[in-house]
Structure 1
Amino acid sequence: MNILITGGSSGLGKSIVEMAAKENHTVYFTYRNHKENADSICSQYSNSISLNCDFANSKNLKEFLNKIPDFNLDVLVNNAYSGITLGQHFHKTSITEFQEAFQNNILPLISITQKCLETFRKKKSGKIITVLTSALVGTPPMGYSVYAATKAYIAQLVKSWSREYIKLGITSNAVAPDFMETALTEETNDFVKDQIKDGNPLKNILTTDEVAKVVMNLMDASPQLNGVIIPVNAGINIL
């Protein structure tokens, strides 16, 4: 398969890229800041291709979108997120922060997915897999208003895509992982991490490899599996 993974040079994205490359798929992945990581991945896996792109830069994004048809994709993994998870309480959060989250995360994701759908619709097959968050299950933690709202918007897109394109053999599913230790969550203090670990039935913090395995399973799943959001959180909360 030909696979595109956004935000593939670190964290969960890196785990997905490496697993897909090990299975001999052709893997395209984007990165913004972690060039050293991207170069290391490509040197280790000759079937991986890194693409530097800042989705907040309209010129960069346009140039990237123009390349996508050449990839002849079978799978899109919407993984990239620009920003942090934990912010301030809602009443202290500026409108600008919500605007930037929308501008930098939702609009690029829409553009990339639309461009990939051009290929999927021609091939009458394709899989869209989107990374959400377990903060969408139940009540999100305090300080998550920007992050959770952004992911909630994307979650509705996931459902819309599943309804609109299944007749063409195109599926849309998502994973909603619990807390993972990545660059996105690096500001989380040790006390909070200990609480998360103690609250997990397995007494472990979720790893990126564990979530990547779920994503890989979705790549191989029957088209009958469509419109599903899978929480990856040891069953703490169930949709």
Structure 2
Amino acid sequence: MKKVVLTGGSSGIGKEINLFLLEKGYEVLFTYCHSEAPAKEIEHQFPHAKAFRIDFTSGEQMNAFQAEIETFDPDILINNYYSGSFIDTYFHKTEAEKILEDFKNNVMPALQITQKCINMFRKKKLGRIINILSSSMVSPAIGTSVYNSNKAYLLQMSKSWAIENVKFGITCNSVSPSFIPTGFHKDMDERMKEMIVSGYPLKDKLEGGDVANIIELCINGGKHFNGNHLFVDASHY
């Protein structure tokens, strides 16, 4: 198993996972939207990397990406992409349109891409699905209700994917990292970041490379390693 579709692979955790896999010799088809410079740099550095620019809110671009997946013929899918904010506002102040918009922008693309890959994996009797979630679901910060609800939806879906497809040689596992300061958290107050890290058992921030090591376990753990929700948080929660 050497061909990976990775959503959101040019920045943050996704970039770390991408580089880890490419250095291990995997072929990676990864998506990006705004981070064109780092995406092209990764392509230049690794001949077995292929960047695909996509706005997941565009039906036309989604169709083009699914056609690209068909051509690429992957063995592994990593759902990492998330667009929006980690911390927004209190739930009772959140407009219904905001909740629906974030669901359509983040959850629906993951479902569509996963459906596409499952259909391909079933024909090959082999496949790996890995969802990057968040330990924030266990201990949510104020203002993260929309973000956490989207991640929780994918967690519940992943349980169905695991049980429905294991007899076809397909496994599905989810990985929930603890807080990793990336560009995704750029709008967070620095004092809040410091408070989160100070409460972490190791008193040091988690790195993207730590998550990448767990990804390899999900890929190579075998057919019985299925339906797991793995926390990368030094037993914080």
User: Which letter maps to 2:22?
Assistant: A
SS of aligned partner of 2:112: helix
Match of 1:10 in 2: 11
Match of 1:40 in 2: 41
Contact (CA 8 Å) 1:171, 1:223: kept in 2 or not?
A: yes
Deviation at 1:140, TM superposition (A): 1.2
Q: What is the distance in 2 between the residues matched to 1:94 and 1:142?
A: 16
How many residues align? The count is 236
SS of aligned partner of 2:222: coil
Deviation at 1:216, TM superposition (A): 2.1
Task: Say whether 1:92 aligns with 2:72.
Answer: no
Output aligned runs, 1:147-226, within 5 Å.
147-226=147-226
Deviation readout 1:77-121 (Å, 9 max, x if unpaired): 000001011010111111111001110011111110011112100
SS of aligned partner of 1:203: coil
User: Which letter maps to 1:191?
Assistant: R
Deviation at 1:162, TM superposition (A): 0.3
Q: What is the distance in 2 between the residues matched to 1:103 and 1:56?
A: 8
User: Which letter maps to 1:211?
Assistant: V
User: Which letter maps to 1:35?
Assistant: E
Deviation at 1:210, TM superposition (A): 1.1
Q: What is the distance in 2 between the residues matched to 1:126 and 1:7?
A: 20
Deviation at 1:208, TM superposition (A): 1.2
Q: What is the distance in 2 between the residues matched to 1:225 and 1:116?
A: 19
Match of 2:60 in 1: 59
SS of aligned partner of 1:16: helix
SS of aligned partner of 1:146: helix
Contact (CA 8 Å) 1:16, 1:216: kept in 2 or not?
A: no
TM-score normalised by structure 1 residue count = 0.97
Q: What is the distance in 2 between the residues matched to 1:56 and 1:179?
A: 27
TM-score normalised by structure 2 residue count = 0.97
User: Which blocks of at least 5 consecutive residues in structure 1 are unaligned?
Assistant: none
User: Which blocks of at least 5 consecutive residues in structure 2 are unaligned?
Assistant: none
Match of 2:228 in 1: 228
Deviation readout 1:135-158 (Å, 9 max, x if unpaired): 122x41110110011111111011
Match of 1:132 in 2: 133
Percent identity over the alignment is 37
List structure 1 segments (4+ residues) > 6 angstroms apart after TM superposition.
none
Output aligned runs, 1:65-84, within 5 Å.
65-84=66-85
Deviation readout 1:7-37 (Å, 9 max, x if unpaired): 0010111111111111111111000110001
Q: What is the distance in 1 between the residues matched to 2:182 and 2:98?
A: 21
Q: What is the distance in 2 between the residues matched to 1:148 and 1:79?
A: 14
Deviation at 1:234, TM superposition (A): 0.8
